[in-house]
Amino acid sequence: MCLKEYRRRRDFSRTPEPQGEKCEELERIYVIQRHQSSRLHWDLRLELDGVLKSWAIPKEPPHERGIKRLAVQTEDHPVEYADFQGVIPEGQYGAGTVETWDRGTYQLLNRNESRIEILIEGKKLKGPFILLRTRWRGDDRNWLFFKMKKGS
Ligand code: MN
């Protein structure tokens, strides 16, 4: 359901503009990397805008509905980072061990400034999830990550 707003504004039986057939088929990279650095956390990364949008989750990501996790947005990473596993050396940013915790694809269902709805097709996480910007403690890097209830 990408391009929802674009499509809502147009009647394609009357305008020659493209509907954008391709966007619905697009499957994007989804990965969560378990990162044992000074503090253990899980890095959620979603291929979006040509990069991996990234969030650090301090506790294990939720498999089921009803568990909300803080997800702190971090800097965009290159798409190739989805394949990275290994040891970041002592003294380097994020020093510690990175390993793939879950991996697959996702579809973007809906997105605005403060809400990203995705359909995850991973091995551990499956189904509809939400990232909700909370601005908790006045910091707009703070989001919540949780599995969507049906119809929410
Ligand atoms: Mn990390």
Please state, in angstroms and rounded to a whole number, the distance separating the CA atoms of residues 106 and 141.
22
The rounded Å distance from CA 132 to ligand 1 centre is 20
The rounded Å distance from CA 150 to ligand 1 centre is 31
The rounded Å distance from CA 62 to ligand 1 centre is 18
pTM for the model stands at 0.82
The rounded Å distance from CA 134 to ligand 1 centre is 21
CB 41 within 8 A of CB 35: yes
Q: Report how far apart, in Å, the C-alpha atoms of 68 and of each of 4, 19, 63, 120 are.
A: 27, 36, 10, 16
Q: Report how far apart, in Å, the C-alpha atoms of 25 and of each of 37, 81, 144 are.
A: 36, 23, 27
The rounded Å distance from CA 23 to ligand 1 centre is 30
> Which is more confident, 22 or 146?
146
What is the reported pLDDT for 116?
96
CB 28 within 8 A of CB 56: no
The rounded Å distance from CA 98 to ligand 1 centre is 8
The rounded Å distance from CA 83 to ligand 1 centre is 14
Per-residue model confidence as pLDDT tens digits over 21-53: 766 556 799 999 999 999 999 999 999 988 999
The neighbouring-strand residues paired with 96 are: 88
CB 54 within 8 A of CB 76: yes
Residues measured by CB to lie within 5 Å of ligand 1, the ion: 35, 43
